[in-house]
């Protein structure tokens, strides 16, 4: 199984044995899972010439042409063709299995059924050593101390090329492979990309995945992504995000841009966000979401479950159901468990636990976090002085607060979806 | 908000910077003022090129060199960068030892303290917040130099005309000082830093204008401060024909303002400047190498996840700490000579910067023909200076 670095720059001989040129590059069409090598780029004295790969016969340390070069018609490469040496070697790719951006040190090719195919990207130390011609030496040295050099090859079907700066086409179409990543992993990958690639990803992914991924991106980068996006697309993404996340993001934008985006958002989501923007970032008001579930006190348990089916609340908001009176004042809380085991006819007012722990919007975030940690809460309601329910702080926001900066990124076990 | 241009500007006036400008002012008076003006413009040009590269490609300098030139040339660029930065890191350690030495702390203790300090700070990931404290001290000391310069009643006419009339002297010592001044202002690490900072913050093409203002201001302020240091030294030491051989001597330039407390002020300023540099240079070096070769980098990783990154950081800190422990090492000249070393390696990095600036991905961010021409001009001038210095050295005229 040859590597690109081993065959690139080899001499190409005419059938007669004269040197016709060198093998400058190898070209595939990236359509199949393991694309077949279709063309060779020959560097001849008169310039580069693209010829079909089938014209070459591999011999021990060189290639030989089947026919004299004058008899081979030069091919033209289709725009989607990938020149392995120019477009992939030393460039960045997304390892969709490990959910990270890595650099290609070498490319692994394999001959199967008479076809040379691109099977993997070498991103390991071996690839680097091979490129400087030191793989053998390093292998022997490692062998002397009883170790083996690790291989670092990513199978090609798990690879997503990022871009090809020298070619005329942009490869960056966040294809199915990227969309398969968990939004949190996708966020990690996106953080490693250039601004252009990031924009392409957020423009082309489906709205829901894009919004979830955007929520997971580091705060300062969120602002710059939203700043680069088309306004309508940005507003759509913000609508799709949880109101508290959208608010945090908007807070980092210049005021003018922020107001434009809120204007473009649907009235309901825009209104939520405007309300949340009024609170200080580091207080319960700034952390809370307005997506909580509030049920009227006279609703029966059965009707309440029906209401939940309609609302489809996010998991962290589904467990605590807040019961409110006619004026939206918090009476207490009913857990999902209580609701499910209760007789469907029981009104909520008979099962509500009035001893609910609550905070005011001005409560500092540290206090919110310590309350939730101490009482093992998944969410904490936020009420004003008149007990009107304003929102709820959920455990995911508190974890982000407690976790030291950067730790989230330490996890290297991407989730397969 | 401080941008990378301003941060690197202040970090430019680190241990080596203060020492070099002090020596320049003391030895040649206003004779190198013109070089400060020229390097301010040159610094603005090279930093803008770096900022554009970061904004346009989303990659650091190491990554771009790798994409364009392959593994072998990248190895060469990385080794050059690491060598220059290792010199700078040694200078920062020497700066800390010198500063603490003014307060009677032995060099052994300083080296250990500095190493521990930087390991703890970087390990906790809290350098980002603390660096503003160092910058604040840096600003205070800069103001102190400005005040001293004014109080020393320098010959302002002479100082200002020297900005535009090059007082070139045909001596090896002058050339040495010139290489030092250029090498401490335009640095290999500064080029890597500006780009990786922009990439790390996720800035894109839309941030070109604020970035240009940032690098422009950074370049201007750096050399304004440098100018005040030179004037303060020229007006106090040079006019009286006093040489400086150590930190206590350099501190007397702050005498007109601080009187007998000049040593304390100088010591605190040198310490803050060295710490700011120390928190920046080894990290930048490790990022540069790891990005080029595709290894994990960043202080959010654990040791096992990013062994090369942490290995490089440890090597930088360990090497520099041990280096300043060499018995009898003259710390003051070491700080200066590290800048000369930087200046000599600078052309190599600048050539790489210029060549990767042709990247198509830059699109509209690619600087126009004027910026490109100026970039090459700076590269050419720096190269001529470095080669000229090497030739002089080899011919034995350096004394």
Domain ranges for chain A: 4-81, 85-161, 176-278, 294-402
A 114-143 → B contacts, CB under 8 A:
123, 128, 131-132
State how far the Cα of A317 lies from the Cα of A239, in Å rounded to an integer: 18
Range of lowest pLDDT (A170-174, B5-9, B264-268): A170-174
State how far the Cα of A192 lies from the Cα of A102, in Å rounded to an integer: 9
Residue A406 is predicted with a pLDDT of 64
State how far the Cα of B56 lies from the Cα of B206, in Å rounded to an integer: 10
Residue A408 is predicted with a pLDDT of 66
Average pLDDT over residues A325-347: 90
Share of chain B above pLDDT 90, in %: 54
Are B186 and B39 a contacting pair, CB within 8 Å? yes
**Helix H or strand E encompassing A339:** helix A336-341
Residue B381, burial from CB neighbour count under 10 angstroms (0-12, 13-18, 19+)? middle
- What lies within 8 Å, CB to CB, of A84 at 6+ separation is A4, A25, A26, A27, A28, A107, A118
Unique residue bearing structure tokens 């994409």: B67
How far off is chain A from B164, nearest CA to CA, in Å?
41
The phi, psi pair for A339, rounded to 5°, reads: -65, -40
pLDDT above 70 for A390: yes
User: Following DSSP, what letter does each residue of B206-224 receive, concatenated?
Assistant: GGHHHHHHHHHHHHHHHHH
The interface predicted TM-score (ipTM) is: 0.80
Candidates A391, A211, A366; CA nearest to A288 is: A391
Residue B98 is predicted with a pLDDT of 93
**Chain B residues close to A166, C-beta within 8 Å:** 360
**Helix H or strand E encompassing B270:** helix B262-293
State how far the Cα of A171 lies from the Cα of A159, in Å rounded to an integer: 13
Angle between helices B262-293 and B4-12 (to 10 degrees): 130
CA distances for A319 relative to A284, A293, A384, B166, B311, angstroms: 20, 9, 22, 76, 47
- What lies within 8 Å, CB to CB, of B38 at 6+ separation is none
A91 contact B CB<8A: yes
The phi, psi pair for A278, rounded to 5°, reads: -70, -20
| Segment B102-146, tens digit of pLDDT | 999 999 999 999 999 888 887 776 667 777 887 888 888 888 888
A 17-76 → B contacts, CB under 8 A:
none
Q: Could you name the CATH architecture of A4-81?
A: Roll (2.30)
SS3 content of chain A, % helix, strand, coil (to 5): 40, 25, 35
Average pLDDT over residues A114-135: 89
**pLDDT class for B30, splitting at 50, 70, 90?**
very high
B205 contact A CB<8A: yes
Residue A12 forms beta bridges with which residues?
Answer: A21, A63
Average pLDDT of the residues of chain B:
89
CA distances for A200 relative to A250, B59, B212, angstroms: 21, 17, 25
Residue A168 is predicted with a pLDDT of 37
pTM: 0.82
Are B383 and B345 a contacting pair, CB within 8 Å? no
B63 contact A CB<8A: yes
Asked if A105 and B294 come within 8 Å (Cβ–Cβ), the reply is: yes
Are A159 and A84 a contacting pair, CB within 8 Å? no
- Under CATH, which number does the domain A294-402 receive? 3.10.580.10
Interface test with B, best of A5, A90, A93 (most B CBs within 10 A): A90
Share of chain B above pLDDT 70, in %: 98
Fold topology of A176-278: MgtE N-terminal fold (1.25.60)
- What lies within 8 Å, CB to CB, of A305 at 6+ separation is A339, A340, A344
State how far the Cα of B7 lies from the Cα of B51, in Å rounded to an integer: 14
Taken in order of first residue, the domains within chain B and their CATH numbers are: 4-395 (1.20.1740.10)
Let me know if the fold of A4-81 is the same as that of A176-278.
Answer: no
Range of lowest pLDDT (A24-33, B302-311, B375-384, B388-397): B388-397
DSSP helix/strand/coil, A47: strand
Average pLDDT of the residues of chain A:
85
Other CB atoms within 10 A of residue A258 CB: 20
- What number of CA atoms fall less than 13 Å from residue A171's CA on the CB side? 22
Residue with more model confidence, A414 or B379: B379
**Chain B residues close to A86, C-beta within 8 Å:** none
Residue B125 is predicted with a pLDDT of 67
Other CB atoms within 10 A of residue B9 CB: 28
DSSP helix/strand/coil, B248: helix
**Helix H or strand E encompassing A154:** strand A153-155
The phi, psi pair for B373, rounded to 5°, reads: -65, -45
Q: How many beta-carbon pairs below 8 A join chains A and B?
A: 87
Average pLDDT over residues A244-273: 86
**Helix H or strand E encompassing A11:** strand A11-13
| Segment B186-245, tens digit of pLDDT | 999 999 999 998 888 878 888 899 999 999 999 999 999 999 999 999 998 888 888 888
DSSP helix/strand/coil, B226: helix
């Amino acid at each position: 199984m040859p590597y690109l670095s081993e065959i690139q720059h080899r001499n190409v001989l005419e059938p007669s044995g004269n040197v016709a040129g060198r093998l400058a590059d190898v070209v595939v069409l990236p359509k199949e899972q393991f694309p077949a090598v279709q063309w060779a780029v020959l560097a001849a004295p008169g310039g580069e010439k693209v010829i079909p790969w089938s014209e070459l016969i591999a011999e021990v340390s060189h290639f030989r042409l089947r026919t004299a070069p004058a008899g081979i018609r030069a091919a033209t490469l289709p725009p989607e063709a990938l020149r392995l040496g120019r477009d992939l070697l030393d460039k960045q790719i997304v390892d969709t299995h490990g959910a990270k951006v890595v650099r290609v040190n070498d490319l692994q090719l394999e001959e199967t059924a008479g076809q040379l195919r691109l099977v993997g990207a070498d991103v390991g130390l071996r690839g680097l050593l091979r490129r400087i011609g030191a793989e053998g030496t390093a292998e022997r040295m490692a062998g002397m101390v009883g170790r083996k050099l690790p291989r670092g090859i990513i199978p090609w079907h798990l690879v997503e090329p990022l871009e090809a700066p020298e070619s005329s086409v942009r490869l960056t179409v966040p294809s199915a492979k990227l969309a398969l990543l968990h939004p949190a992993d996708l966020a990690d990958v996106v953080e490693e990309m250039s601004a252009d690639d990031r924009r392409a990803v957020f423009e082309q992914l489906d709205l829901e995945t894009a919004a979830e991924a955007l929520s997971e991106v580091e705060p300062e980068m969120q602002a710059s992504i939203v700043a680069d996006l088309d306004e309508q697309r940005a507003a759509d993404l913000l609508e799709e995000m949880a109101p508290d996340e959208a608010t945090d993001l908007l807070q980092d934008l210049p005021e003018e841009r922020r107001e434009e985006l809120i204007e473009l958002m649907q009235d309901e989501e825009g209104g939520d966000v405007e309300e949340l923007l009024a609170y200080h970032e580091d207080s319960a008001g700034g952390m809370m979401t307005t997506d909580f579930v509030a049920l009227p006190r006279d609703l029966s348990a059965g009707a309440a479950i029906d209401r939940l089916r309609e609302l489809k609340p996010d998991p962290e908001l589904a467990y605590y159901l807040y019961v409110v009176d006619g004026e939206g004042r918090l009476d207490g809380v009913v857990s999902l468990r209580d609701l499910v085991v209760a007789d469907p006819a029981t009104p909520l007012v008979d099962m509500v636990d009035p001893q609910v722990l609550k905070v005011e919007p001005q409560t500092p975030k540290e206090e919110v976090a310590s309350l939730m940690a101490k009482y093992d809460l998944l969410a904490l309601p936020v009420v004003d002085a008149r007990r009107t329910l304003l929102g709820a702080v959920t455990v995911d926001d508190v974890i982000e607060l407690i976790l030291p900066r950067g730790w989230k990124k330490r996890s290297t076990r991407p989730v397969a979806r | 908000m401080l941008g990378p241009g301003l941060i690197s500007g202040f970090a430019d006036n680190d241990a080596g910077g203060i020492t070099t400008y002090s020596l320049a002012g003391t030895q040649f008076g206003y004779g190198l003022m013109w070089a400060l003006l020229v390097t301010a413009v040159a610094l603005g040009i090279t930093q803008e090129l770096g900022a554009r590269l970061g904004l346009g490609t989303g990659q650091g300098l190491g990554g771009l060199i790798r994409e364009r030139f392959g593994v072998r040339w990248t190895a060469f660029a990385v080794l050059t960068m690491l060598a220059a930065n290792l010199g700078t890191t040694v200078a920062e350690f020497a700066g800390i030892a010198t500063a603490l030495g003014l307060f009677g702390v032995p060099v052994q203790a300083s080296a250990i303290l500095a190493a521990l300090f930087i390991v703890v700070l970087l390990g906790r990931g809290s350098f980002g917040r603390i660096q503003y404290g160092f910058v604040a001290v840096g600003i205070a000391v800069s103001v102190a130099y400005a005040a001293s310069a004014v109080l020393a009643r320098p010959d302002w006419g002479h100082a200002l005309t020297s900005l535009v009339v090059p007082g070139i002297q045909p001596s090896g010592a002058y050339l040495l000082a010139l290489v030092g001044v250029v090498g401490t202002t335009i640095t290999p690490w500064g080029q890597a830093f500006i780009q990786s900072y922009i990439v790390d913050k996720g800035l894109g093409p839309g941030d070109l204008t604020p970035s240009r203002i940032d690098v422009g201001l950074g370049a201007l302020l750096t050399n304004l401060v440098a100018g005040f240091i030179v004037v303060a030294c020229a007006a106090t030491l040079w006019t009286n024909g006093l040489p400086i051989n150590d930190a206590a001597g350099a501190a007397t330039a702050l005498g007109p303002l601080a009187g007998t407390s000049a040593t304390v002020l100088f010591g605190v300023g040198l310490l803050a400047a060295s710490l700011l540099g120390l928190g920046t240079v080894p990290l930048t070096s490790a990022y540069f190498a790891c990005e080029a070769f595709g290894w994990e980098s960043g202080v959010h990783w654990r040791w096992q996840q990013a062994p090369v990154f942490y290995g490089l950081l440890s090597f930088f800190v360990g090497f520099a700490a041990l280096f300043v422990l060499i018995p009898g090492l003259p710390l003051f000249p070491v700080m200066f000579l590290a800048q000369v070393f930087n200046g000599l390696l600078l052309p190599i990095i600048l050539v790489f910067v210029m060549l990767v600036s042709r990247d198509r991905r830059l699109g509209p961010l690619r600087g126009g023909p004027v910026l490109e021409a100026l970039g090459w001009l700076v590269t050419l001038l720096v190269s001529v200076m470095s080669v000229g210095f090497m030739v002089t050295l080899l011919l034995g005229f350096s004394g």
